[in-house]
């Protein structure tokens, strides 16, 4: 094994990936977690109320606790994006990031879901310069400014409630034709003087050179009247998709491009396991991702044990010495 070889590489460091890493590290495996960030989608909310053990906790705090625990048992971390994965002739795996290459005996794919793009002119150019996909993360940058949010459904209403507490004026560009009158979030928004709704509408273009100056809004139907609205920021809340193109030749996907797994977290390729929102599990929740992460880890461990001719485990009940992280 070279220095950059591991027993298991986990791609993604949120509920699923961090739980996998914890379980693998406790089995004394050499584990590397490669991720673009720590926490994933949970970072987008400061109010998780259904994670057992916590009446209420921010996603950031919960994910930090997950990472601390995985690191304390010896999991290693690399902050980068994985761009390519392949299975080699000897059954091991090569994982390429934007900067490096790593090798492992087994893989756990836990890279979740990513915000869907709006796909309009100006979006790429102005991303991070007024165009944001995370109201909770970036909202405070736009205090007392005129801003807009575009999307449909629960996500856009949640973001709008939060943003309307910060903005001078909030324009809600709603892609649907109506919201039920008894919707709790909609009722809150209707009471706020600084919120303007545009139903059955979408953003056609985001304008600005250095940062966002305005948006072009029109009805959903092609050829509808267009209106230019001056704003400093646009929040895009179009839902989330599994960006699995880089593993499409490695594992079987369903029609939503989610990775198909069995109840042990096994994918169509031996040695590759998957967990969390990136899989075809229809329920997308932090606690479910964590449970799937633990399952995938035990399956990966047993896969390696079998390859080495050793006995399988079905639990993780032993007391393991913590490797305390350095201050």
**Positions in the binding site for ligand FAD (CB under 6 A):** 11-17, 34-37, 40-42, 44-45, 48, 50, 81-82, 110-113, 276-277, 284-287, 289
Minimum distance, C-beta of residue 42 to ligand FAD, in the bound complex (Å): 4
> For residues 29 and 247, which CB has a smaller minimum distance to ligand FAD in the complex?
247
Q: Are strands 169-174 and 272-274 parallel, antiparallel or unpaired?
A: unpaired
Minimum distance, C-beta of residue 271 to ligand FAD, in the bound complex (Å): 19
> For residues 185 and 287, which CB has a smaller minimum distance to ligand FAD in the complex?
287
Minimum distance, C-beta of residue 110 to ligand FAD, in the bound complex (Å): 5
Minimum distance, C-beta of residue 186 to ligand FAD, in the bound complex (Å): 17
Give the CB-nearest residue to ligand FAD.
112
| Half-sphere exposure in the Cβ direction for 110 (13 Å, CA) | 39
> For residues 138 and 213, which CB has a smaller minimum distance to ligand FAD in the complex?
138
Cα–Cα distance, 184 to 233 (Å, whole number): 25
Minimum distance, C-beta of residue 280 to ligand FAD, in the bound complex (Å): 12
Q: Mark 265-290 as b/e (b = at least 16 C-beta within 10 Å).
A: bbbebebbbbbbbbbbbeeeebebbb
CB atoms within 10 A of CB 165: 12
> For residues 48 and 251, which CB has a smaller minimum distance to ligand FAD in the complex?
48
CB atoms within 10 A of CB 110: 34
Phi and psi at 243, nearest 5°, equal: -90, 80
Nearest partner of 127 among 193, 212, 231, judged by Cα = 212
> For residues 110 and 148, which CB has a smaller minimum distance to ligand FAD in the complex?
110
């Amino acid at each position: 094994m070279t220095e950059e070889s591991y027993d298991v590489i986990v791609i993604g460091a949120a509920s699923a990936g961090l739980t996998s890493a914890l379980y693998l590290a406790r089995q004394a495996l050499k584990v590397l977690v490669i991720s673009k960030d720590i926490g994933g989608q949970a970072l987008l909310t400061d109010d998780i109320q259904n994670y057992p053990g916590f009446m209420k906790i921010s996603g950031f705090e919960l994910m930090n606790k997950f990472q601390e625990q995985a690191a304390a048992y010896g999991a290693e971390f690399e902050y980068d994006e994985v761009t390519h994965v392949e299975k080699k002739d000897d059954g091991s795996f090569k994982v390429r990031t934007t900067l490096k290459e790593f090798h492992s005996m087994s893989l756990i794919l836990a890279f979740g879901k990513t915000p869907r793009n709006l796909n309009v002119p100006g979006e790429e150019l102005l991303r991070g310069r007024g165009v944001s996909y995370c109201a909770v993360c970036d909202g405070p940058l736009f205090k007392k400014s005129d801003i807009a949010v575009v999307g449909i459904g629960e996500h856009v209403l949640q973001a709008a409630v939060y943003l309307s507490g910060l903005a001078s004026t909030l324009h809600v560009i709603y892609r649907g034709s109506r919201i039920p009158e008894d919707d709790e979030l909609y009722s809150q928004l209707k009471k706020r003087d600084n919120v303007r709704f545009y139903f059955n509408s979408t953003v056609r273009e985001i304008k600005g050179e250095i940062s966002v100056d305005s948006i072009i809004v029109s009805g959903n139907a092609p050829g509808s009247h267009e209106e230019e609205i001056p704003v400093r920021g646009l929040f895009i809340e179009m839902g989330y998709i599994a960006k699995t193109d880089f593993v499409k030749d490695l594992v079987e996907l369903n029609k939503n491009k989610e990775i198909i797994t069995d109840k042990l977290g096994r994918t169509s390729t031996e040695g590759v396991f998957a967990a969390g929102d990136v899989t075809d599990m229809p329920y997308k929740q932090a606690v479910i991702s964590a449970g799937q992460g633990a399952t995938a880890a035990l399956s990966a461990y047993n896969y390696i044990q079998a390859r080495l001719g050793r006995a399988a485990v079905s639990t993780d009940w032993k007391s393991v010495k913590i490797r305390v992280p350095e201050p």
